[in-house]
Structure 1
Amino acid sequence: MAMVVEAFVSGLLNALGDLAMEEADALLGVPGEIQRLQRTLRTIRHVLRDAERRRIEDEAIDDWLRELKDAMYDADDILDECRVQTEKKPTERAGATKRRRFSWFSGFRRQVELTHEIGARIRELNRRLEEISARRTAFDLRAYSDRKPTSRVSRKTSPVLESDIVGTGMEEDARDLVELLTTEDSRSNILVLAIVGIGGIGKTTLAQKVFHDDRTKASFRRSMWVCVSQEFVDSDVLRDILAGAGGSDGGARSRALLEPVVESLLRGNKFLLVLDDVWSEHIWEDLLRNPLQGGAAGSRVLVTTRNEGIARRMKAVHIHRMKLLPLHDGWSLLCKKVAHGDDEERDARSLAAIGLKIVEKCDGLPLAIKTIGGVLCTKGLSRRAWEQVLRSAAWSQTGLPEGVKGALYLSYEDLPSQLKQCFLYCAMFPEDYIHLRQYLIQFWIAEGFVQAAGDLTPEAAGEEYYRELVRRSLLQPHPMYHDQFGCTMHDLLRSLAHFLTRDESLFVKDVQQGWKSAASAKLRRVSVIAPGTQRIQPILDAIKKQESVRALLLERTSVSETDVNDHLRKLRRLRVLHLADTRILRLPQHIGELIHLSVVKLHNLRSLDLEYVPVEGFPSGIGRLQHLNVLRGLVVNTGRAWCSLEEVSNLRRLRWLAISKLERAWAAAEPGEAAAKGLRNNQDLEWVEMHCSPCRADTAPPSFGFAEEEMERIERVFDTALHPLSSLDKLEIQHFFGRRYPTWLTTASVGLLLPNLRRLVLVDCRLCPWLPPLGKLPSLEFLRIRRASAVVAIGSEFLGCEAAGGKRRSSSPVLFPKLTELWFDGMMNWEEWRWGVAEDDEVAAAMPRLSHLHLVDCPRLRDLPEALSRHATALTRMQIKGVGALKSICGFSAMKRLQIHDESGLESVSDLPALEFLEVSNNKMSSLPKWLVTGLQAQFTALQRLDIEGSSQLLRSCLQNGEEWPRISHVPIVYIQDDQHKYIYYIRSSSTAYTNLKEHSDDHGKKVNEDQEQDMDDSQGDEAGEARLDSFLAPIPQDRRAVRKPPWANLCLCALNEAVANPFDCTDTPDRSNSPTK
């Protein structure tokens, strides 16, 4: 149940403790009743954990808990009303007004009636609870002492997510499947393959590895990933295909309109389509077969499914059957979860005997092992704690949904009660839904699930809850999102959550089926996420009768303002109202009557997010929302009826602010009047996004159409009205059109003003010729500067050095002391990067922690500072793309990975002794550049892999008899691709090569053996004047095939799937389209 009774009772007791007892007793006329309620709740709560476990198998206990839960909800509603009454000012309670005596009298009488009604309900509630409590003895329930949430004491682990792949089996399976995917086959334009196995066995993990293999990427023009789910909707699947293929649905919602768009987009293209978690072959036979038939030869459809029969009925040409994880590999995976560092690994090995028994209970399922590892992470490396886990009764829990093992229930059972509620809340969303951290936490807070202790705000406590669920592998971070901002839930865990919430929560994807369920149960939460083509009125009519509903989520539906207005006034207990991607353009008429509403509410509103909503401004009065924590999408407007910047400064609890059209602010306040306090009152502000409107498309440098007066005014607005606080953690400025950055960013004391700033993004500040002294920011970890068109040179001002007596000095001995990632992007006029710190300057170090450097689209930059390699000693990854004037990259002793794209002017790459991975890309490149030849001969001694993308001429010259072959043959792994997606993939250790060049493949595919190659007769001639390369890619001898059969030797049916988006794009908010995550 989404409301875990144990947690609810604890929450109610906390709420009662916070209530002003004497005032409440006097106001409500119920002396002693609130204390009586406290005593009853304390009596009940110690047996609730046992009751919740046994309710799965015992119907009588289930009925008892359901009755108790109903009483708890009523108690929560009454307490909320008590809080509303006791928080009101005396004049508000009396209904007093200065206008009429009659209004005062009528308001007073109504208030007396209301308080009497609440008092009577409290007395009746106590009677009910005492009767329910008395019946608990009939069930012989065991009492447990309170447990504190373990999220406060979990050991710290690395934020970098470890790979779930252990052992060699997965690697070999992935290689075989890639080979099958990329093998030419003349039987059909489109072939279906499948991966089959039980839930949680790792189908998606294998598919991810295959999908992102370099050979897979090179072989298909378009690659798409679709998460299907049991109750898939035709139009959703088609829209996901369009999104994955880089197309647009043009606003179409119906299958009839979307099918021809899909067919047109894929016609003539060689594509890979992954269908993840297929439950019915009808998705292929009835929906996708026809619109996909126009794909080019070699197109593939990859399926993951639990049912081999589905794969056969889809006529798959190969089935890969997943095997259970061997015991020793399972132990390795468990150790990855519980041990970090040599000391902990040594301690974990001492627990191997118990650990192997625990792994054995997980039945070879990676998901089960990971979640049990999450449990053990909270226990420490203690033999006694591990033995308790091994002996837990939850392993043998019966009555669970199909496929859900006892290990998964144990992982849930081990959660503190508050975290149980947060976990169960995720059942409100569809399979593979991407939960965004900020919004999920706001839902939890609105429902009362988050209990903040000490000085923690509810939002900070919610962050801890969220990260604890991630650490326990109950939520899986999505690779498209930075810092675990987006997560998904595995479908087996969602199945468990859905099962445990079945009696009070309803998720609807098919409205025709869902409205019957909505009418038959006493619901507390309803989520409808359905295509706009479905008529939603029946389910709204059913919900209107459910006055107990506390959360209503309507996403991607055809619901209108009229629909909501007609139904909201009945849902008086609503705490969460989520309206996303609907036709609603304004707040519903009766929203002010919903006194409990917390996420789109007015009284205690904590989060107001209208980002990407085309509003003209916010109404005046926003400043009265004193609980507001998140305000995004705020649009500046100058009229008196609109919210001003001064109002924003009154929001003392604000943590996240995104504000746009700041150029309007100067009209709201003349110079000297412009909200001089700035944001100084917002003491908790951590994340600020400041946006002006983009430049008009018809404008050009140097002024981009702005008058001098306009530029001066926007500078004053940023200097005064937007002066930030020392609490700031993240700052983004976009489209600023002043000629200088704000004074608070350019002052020499910027490090004192912004001591906690970790992330800074400056985008389209096109008129500022100099960068601020950002090296003085003591906590800065991530910096991205994008499209700073006026910057020609960067020098010592960027580091934050001042000249004194001929030397450069800094108030800090270390500049950019914590910077780990630096981006310069779209700097079209940038020519010179001077370090500005000489050997004898009084600066101890600069950028000592820098590990990632990205230079993208900076075509005029000629050189990297010589001192960069001397100071940035931790630099391990560098991306150089579109920096055509750059001459050399030298002297980076720690560099392990280097990506160079389109750099025709590069002359030297040297002194990179640690370089392991080198990627070189230029479609016009017909031979290896001189710097690369020199480096391969003597410089790149640690190189493990070389990736090259060039012309078809270069590809052929890298074959064994080609001109370039001797220069690359010593590299352990070589991958070469041309602009026609032809490739060669060479592995030196096994003397193996793969290719999709037809004239160099045998009858089955691409795998060849160099040691046993057979020379072919060159006299057979060339096709289209191309040289024969068979000597490099000879067929595999029969004796070699007998040792290890290639995967096509036993063709039956085969499959795969999954994808990951680019994690490096840090400026644009990513969408929530489907992507492989399990």
Structure 2
Amino acid sequence: MAEAVVSFVVERLGDLLIQKAVFLKGVRSQVERLLEELKRMQCFLKDADARQEEDERVRNWVSEIRNTAYDAEDIVDIFIRNAETKHSIFKKWMDLNKIGKEIEAIQIRIQDISKSRVTYGITNIGEATNSANDQGIVGFQNDTNLLVERLLRKDQRRTVVSIVGMGGIGKTTLAKKVYNDRRVVDHFQYCRAWVYVSLDCKPRDIFQRIINQISLSSECEAERTEKLQEDELRDFLHDFLKEKRYLVVLDDLWKSEDWKYVANAFPRESNGSRLLLTTRNKDVALHADPLSVPHTIQLLSANESWRLFCRTAFPGDDPESCPLELRELGEKMVGKCAGLPLAIVVLGGLLSRKKKSPTDWAKVLNNIGVHLSGGKDGVDAMLNLSFIDLPPYLKSCFLYFSLFPDDHVISVRKICRLWVAEGFIPQQDGRRMEDMAEDYLNELIDRNLVQMVRMSTNERVRECRIHDLARDFSIKKAKEESFAEIQQSIASVHSTSSSTNSRRHGIFSDFERYASNKHSTPHLRSLLFFKLDDKSCQVSQLDFVYKCFKLLRVIDLDGVEIGRMTSSFGKLIHLRYLGLSHTGLETLPTSIGNLTSLQTLDVRCVKNVPNVIWKMENLRHLLVDGRTDDMPLQIDTLRNLQTLSGIRFNEWGDNDLSKLTTLQKLKIRGKFELEWVKFSDSIAKLENLQSLSLVIQSLPSNRFTSEEQSPFLAMNSWLHLYKMVMNGPIVQLPAAHEFPPSLTQLTLQGSGLGRDPMPILGNLPKLSTLRLRTGSYHGTAMQVSSFGFLQLKKLQISDLDRLKWIYVEKGGMPRLAQFQVIEVDCSIYGLNHLSHLHEVDVSINASSRFPLIDGLEVFPGLPNWARSLMSSSDWHHTWRHTGENKGVIHFYRK
């Protein structure tokens, strides 16, 4: 990690010499010498991170280097802050003199550290250098069958079935396999839920998540349940489950006390209901149900371990494709994993990035022995080895996950922007830093250190998370390296073990008390708040931020209620990421215009935004949705802007748009038809624009009818646009050739179309995703021609209350894979022509209880086309409630 820190500081000092040359002019030569000293130190650090695990002398030496690099960065950052905020020439001269002396002191420290390498006998460092996904499940078939049989027994007593085993052994993987087994799905299809519990058990959150999956009523009912107290929510859930046969999975239950808190939510009716627990503690399982014998999960056999290893070390290849010259080395390494699936997967991810040579594999084998001899268990040893193997640029990115709560689903877009703001992503000609950040994330996923949660239709990762054992490791390592610390309660805030050198804080609770605490971390670079529940989710004022943390680069308060924001925020000149969305903040101070280093400004739902954004020339992402003020914003100075969301049409026209050459994503609202030609021309000039969302305000009454030409023409000049959302009345679609030629994703909502849109949209040559939502079409019929939608893969039709039937001619939509029909009561003909279709969702009115006839549930109002899928042996289905007397059936092909 020291190599990563020094590399980061070297790059940052180099950037500062260019960007802040005017301030560093008087000490430029000294900073350059410091830079050279740090670069020389780098060559000795390539091995040091690995060797510090086995040699305390190396560990202390590396720690000194890391701390010195941090101090060097602090000195320069403090000087620049003072230079930019002080106007007295005398004070600036004094600061210049001071920084010169401090840099000389740092250089002496580095030279002493370099000499101590020989003094301490550290002589071999630098002489040699080393250059999550849902894996195919191996094993567990016997375990799966045993558990399925226990869940489906005719015993009507409410039973708790527990899976017990150590961390990383595959409890969650086995539970998922059981939960998704067709026999279990069919038996409990009307009432199933899965919740992660984790060490920090929050009963109210657990109850709410179960309700969200099985019983959410109307939107009003959803809002009502969110306002209930914990005991009221528990009673609500209990009453809903009382007359149902349910299956609820409580994954990763740690303590018997946690079971006590949640147990009363689950009725004891004798109707065959089941709870499935995963836990590391056998006592928890016995406490939950003394009459149910816990299922202790066994380690993988040697054969199963080898198969899993091959699947991860040689992804995409034949599982038995390991070269003969590597097999013996591979088997030895797999043997050291002792049958632990997580350890094997991490090892496989590590070796998948290595050369397939005996020399490289032998080095990994030797290193495994070092870590295991240090007392680490298999998973921890593999995680440590994989971390050491990470290139410097990935180590900081991985440790950043330590700041996020347990089981937190993380937006890829957000974490990439945070990495960029932190300075983890280098600037390279011709590449967006955000694209490079995505590449970094994908590499961490390939190494099985991060797990993919959700992908977009164009197969880009959109959400991710980290396994709890990998998170535990990252938290420990981040604290050791003074990289970051999390504070889950006020007790941890006051903990004497809290490092005064920590560079980042993740705060999960007691926000108000954290704000009022006396902080001893003046060099903090990032402050992230996470709203996990409704308790202590407010900060009355933010004055403490500038008083305590003058060097901040990142502050994110998304969802935390803020009383006020003072002008002192404008003095945080190093700030690059400011997240204030959904904070209840009414007005931003004009001083934020001084944040000229800012890259991301997320102020969604802040009502009043002053016209000072134009000063932020480094801004890359501006989110101002939800403004209610009349203040027009000047934005044409933002030549690095990539994302602009929430701008108004009148503001757009008042700016010189030819300067926004880097803009890629735009969301804009207004009455476009009044000056459509001018607007269309402005969009055509944005050669990098890929995504456009139009929030169309109401057309003048009787201005257009369904017989007249659409005002939204000449979009065919938008050559690079591939994604478009049109939300609002357009009445008539333009001809197919008027649409952007590269369009792959289109969403229409509130369009008010009177004519069937399919003949026009079916001729869009590259369209792969189409969503027709509420109010987009008022007709009764849709027809897809035999040559329509040749590239379409996903079709969503929702809330079209007049639609009665859809007909798909043979040959139409030949690549359709996903079809969603939500809140639409219509007949569909021609589904049998769609050979690539493998997922269908249909909403249905249904009673909360279903009569049983020969073991088949009767769905009131189920359309014939859905009944045919249900009766087909090619299709399976699951069911979930989405509202009072409403639900969704999910059909899928295996």
CA contact (8 A) 1:507 1:526 kept: yes
Structure 2 residues not aligned, in runs of 5+: 217-221, 579-591, 846-855, 882-887
2:51, 2:625 → 1: CA distance? 49
1:34, 1:610 → 2: CA distance? 37
Deviation at 1:214, TM superposition (A): 4.9
CA contact (8 A) 1:268 1:296 kept: no
1:83, 1:123 → 2: CA distance? 17
One-letter amino acid of the counterpart of residue 694, structure 2: I
Alpha carbons of structure 1 residues 443 and 892: separation in structure 2 relative to 1, 3 Å: same
Alpha carbons of structure 1 residues 568 and 891: separation in structure 2 relative to 1, 3 Å: same
Deviates more, 1:394-403 or 1:595-604: 394-403
Q: Secondary structure at the match of 1:292?
A: coil
CA contact (8 A) 2:422 2:553 kept: yes
Q: Secondary structure at the match of 2:807?
A: coil
The one of 822, 827, 830 aligned to 1:889:
830
The one of 636, 645, 651 aligned to 1:649:
636
Q: Secondary structure at the match of 1:412?
A: helix
Q: Secondary structure at the match of 2:71?
A: helix
Matched, 1:305 2:279: yes
- Equivalent in the alignment of 1:1050: none
The one of 480, 487, 492 aligned to 2:469:
492
Matched, 1:683 2:661: yes
CA contact (8 A) 1:450 1:462 kept: yes
1:737, 1:128 → 2: CA distance? 68
Alpha carbons of structure 1 residues 853 and 327: separation in structure 2 relative to 1, 3 Å: farther
2:865, 2:435 → 1: CA distance? 55
One-letter amino acid of the counterpart of residue 36, structure 1: R
Q: Secondary structure at the match of 2:344?
A: helix
Computing the radius of gyration over CA atoms, which structure comes out larger, 1 or 2? 1
Deviation at 1:551, TM superposition (A): 1.9
CA contact (8 A) 1:506 1:518 kept: no
Deviates more, 1:212-221 or 1:323-332: 212-221
Matched, 1:122 2:64: no
Provide Cα deviations, 1:542-567, integer angstroms capped at 9, x if missing partner: 55222232222222263655553145
- Equivalent in the alignment of 2:173: 205
Alpha carbons of structure 1 residues 78 and 723: separation in structure 2 relative to 1, 3 Å: farther
2:18, 2:878 → 1: CA distance? 76
- Equivalent in the alignment of 2:807: 864
- Equivalent in the alignment of 1:36: 33
- Equivalent in the alignment of 1:810: none
Matched, 1:174 2:144: yes
2:444, 2:639 → 1: CA distance? 30
Matched, 1:283 2:258: yes
Q: Secondary structure at the match of 1:689?
A: strand
CA contact (8 A) 1:608 1:631 kept: yes
One-letter amino acid of the counterpart of residue 608, structure 1: L
Deviation at 1:51, TM superposition (A): 3.0
Deviation at 1:632, TM superposition (A): 1.7
Deviation at 1:460, TM superposition (A): 2.5
Matches within 5 A, 1:213-612: 213-217=181-185, 219=188, 221-245=190-214, 246=216, 247=222, 255=230, 259-260=234-235, 262-263=237-238, 266-285=241-260, 287-293=261-267, 297-315=271-289, 317-339=292-314, 352-379=327-354, 381-382=356-357, 384-393=359-368, 396-399=371-374, 404-479=379-454, 483-503=460-480, 504=482, 505-517=484-496, 521-530=500-509, 534=510, 536-537=512-513, 539-540=514-515, 542=517, 544-556=519-531, 558=536, 560-562=538-540, 564-566=542-544, 568-600=546-578, 602-611=595-604
Matches within 5 A, 1:890-909: 892=833, 894-897=835-838, 899=840, 901=842
One-letter amino acid of the counterpart of residue 487, structure 2: V
Alpha carbons of structure 1 residues 243 and 770: separation in structure 2 relative to 1, 3 Å: same
Deviation at 1:213, TM superposition (A): 4.0
Matched, 1:620 2:561: no
Alpha carbons of structure 1 residues 63 and 771: separation in structure 2 relative to 1, 3 Å: same
Matches within 5 A, 1:992-1007: none
Q: Secondary structure at the match of 2:283?
A: helix
The one of 861, 864, 870 aligned to 1:947:
870
- Equivalent in the alignment of 1:140: 122
- Equivalent in the alignment of 2:689: 728
Q: Secondary structure at the match of 1:279?
A: coil
1:171, 1:638 → 2: CA distance? 61
1:361, 1:334 → 2: CA distance? 12
Alpha carbons of structure 1 residues 677 and 356: separation in structure 2 relative to 1, 3 Å: same
Deviation at 1:322, TM superposition (A): 1.7
1:165, 1:343 → 2: CA distance? 12
Q: With structure 2 as the length reference, what TM-score do the two structures score?
A: 0.82
Provide Cα deviations, 1:221-272, integer angstroms capped at 9, x if missing partner: 5444332222334554455445445355766597566555555555555443
Matched, 1:164 2:143: no
- Equivalent in the alignment of 2:581: none
Alpha carbons of structure 1 residues 345 and 124: separation in structure 2 relative to 1, 3 Å: same
- Equivalent in the alignment of 1:1038: none
Deviates more, 1:217-226 or 1:440-449: 217-226
Matches within 5 A, 1:783-798: 783-794=746-757, 797-798=760-761
CA contact (8 A) 1:481 1:1063 kept: no
Deviation at 1:417, TM superposition (A): 1.0
- Equivalent in the alignment of 2:584: none
Alpha carbons of structure 1 residues 890 and 207: separation in structure 2 relative to 1, 3 Å: closer
Structure 1 residues not aligned, in runs of 5+: 96-106, 151-160, 693-709, 801-814, 838-844, 905-919, 934-945, 949-967, 980-1059, 1065-1078
Q: Secondary structure at the match of 2:494?
A: helix
1:146, 1:19 → 2: CA distance? 32
One-letter amino acid of the counterpart of residue 201, structure 1: I
Provide Cα deviations, 1:700-757, integer angstroms capped at 9, x if missing partner: xxxxxxxxxx78548589657777723222333345534789x999545x444232x3
- Equivalent in the alignment of 2:76: 79
Q: Secondary structure at the match of 1:404?
A: helix
Q: Secondary structure at the match of 1:450?
A: coil
Alpha carbons of structure 1 residues 79 and 521: separation in structure 2 relative to 1, 3 Å: closer
Q: Secondary structure at the match of 2:830?
A: strand
Deviation at 1:620, TM superposition (A): 0.7
CA contact (8 A) 1:528 1:554 kept: yes
Matches within 5 A, 1:689-838: 689-691=667-669, 713=674, 719=680, 725-734=686-695, 736-738=697-699, 746-747=712-713, 750-755=715-720, 757-763=721-727, 765-771=728-734, 773=736, 777-794=740-757, 797-798=760-761, 815-817=764-766, 819-826=767-774, 827-831=776-780, 833=782
1:887, 1:549 → 2: CA distance? 59
Q: Secondary structure at the match of 2:811?
A: helix
Deviation at 1:568, TM superposition (A): 3.3
CA contact (8 A) 1:774 1:799 kept: no
2:540, 2:128 → 1: CA distance? 47
Alpha carbons of structure 1 residues 438 and 297: separation in structure 2 relative to 1, 3 Å: same
CA contact (8 A) 1:793 1:833 kept: yes
1:251, 1:824 → 2: CA distance? 30
1:560, 1:901 → 2: CA distance? 40
Deviates more, 1:430-439 or 1:583-592: 583-592
1:369, 1:881 → 2: CA distance? 42
CA contact (8 A) 2:540 2:564 kept: no
Alpha carbons of structure 1 residues 253 and 974: separation in structure 2 relative to 1, 3 Å: closer
CA contact (8 A) 1:627 1:653 kept: yes
Alpha carbons of structure 1 residues 123 and 359: separation in structure 2 relative to 1, 3 Å: same
Identity %: 25
Deviation at 1:84, TM superposition (A): 6.1
Question: How many pairs does the alignment contain?
Answer: 838
1:898, 1:491 → 2: CA distance? 31
1:232, 1:44 → 2: CA distance? 45
1:484, 1:427 → 2: CA distance? 20
Deviates more, 1:849-858 or 1:365-374: 849-858
Q: Secondary structure at the match of 1:785?
A: strand
